[in-house]
Homo-oligomer: A and B are copies of this chain.
């Protein structure tokens, strides 16, 4: 841990054999509700500590109730520890109510070396960061970008900013560069945060701007990201029956895939 905001905001302190205390910090929220990716990274920190493995290979969070800033309690359960992998589960409680349940399998991505390689996904071709639009909160503006954009710096591809200007392009996608605003390097623990930090894809498909509660988010972490900006691409392929999925790919500065994510969310209320 050091003095960077992310480390402070995701710090967990052991309070017993399998219990941890943490604080969900102000400023990592969207409309007052701590970002789902942020919540997952806090739980991921407790899980990684509990299993003593550095990298979350695949983590899944089911969101049970909206959290708020303030103290949370985490209880971890070691499901299985093997030579290469360890699987563990965490409950996240606030005011005695469970707000999230997380399961993950952890390992060491630095030790996993295998000659086989196949990569079909290419980084999206968007303008360089300084030609993208830096999204930051606008004081007292009703449609201000959420506070979390002060922590996670987003530079959105101009073509995907139509939703904010009333001219969505009609495709449920959004792309851009991301990094910690205070200069901290992204590591594997933080990738689930970046996987949930962009504005919803469907705003660009003309959906009304509003809260879309995530039901479940799964992130596969595939490499320790190289230093530098992350290039992120999110797309929704299916909205139906009141649900939608969001698929994300996070490339690191070398152009390799650092993480893939998928979430299931409920479409906004009032559209039934």
Contacts and interface: CB of A to CB of B under 8 A. Distances in A.
Contacts of A112: 241-243
Contacts of A41: none
Interface in A61-119: 62, 64-65, 79-80, 84-85, 87, 89, 98, 101, 103, 105, 109, 112-119
Contacts of A35: none
Contact of A216 (B58, B115, B236): B58
B243 A120 contact: no
A215 B59 CA distance: 11
Contacts of A117: 239-240
A207 B118 CA distance: 10
Contacts of A191: none
A80 B109 contact: no
Q: How many copies does the complex hold?
A: 2
A189 interface: no
Given A62-B87, A79-B98, A115-B271, 10 more contacts: A58-B62, A62-B79, A62-B103, A62-B105, A84-B266, A114-B240, A116-B239, A118-B240, A222-B240, A222-B243
Cβ-closest 6 pairs across A and B:
A112-B242, A114-B242, A118-B239, A112-B241, A64-B80, A58-B216
Interface of A: 57-58, 60, 62, 64-65, 79-80, 84-85, 87, 89, 98, 101, 103, 105, 109, 112-121, 172, 202, 205, 207, 215-216, 218, 220, 222-223, 235-245, 256-257, 260, 262, 264, 266-267, 271-272
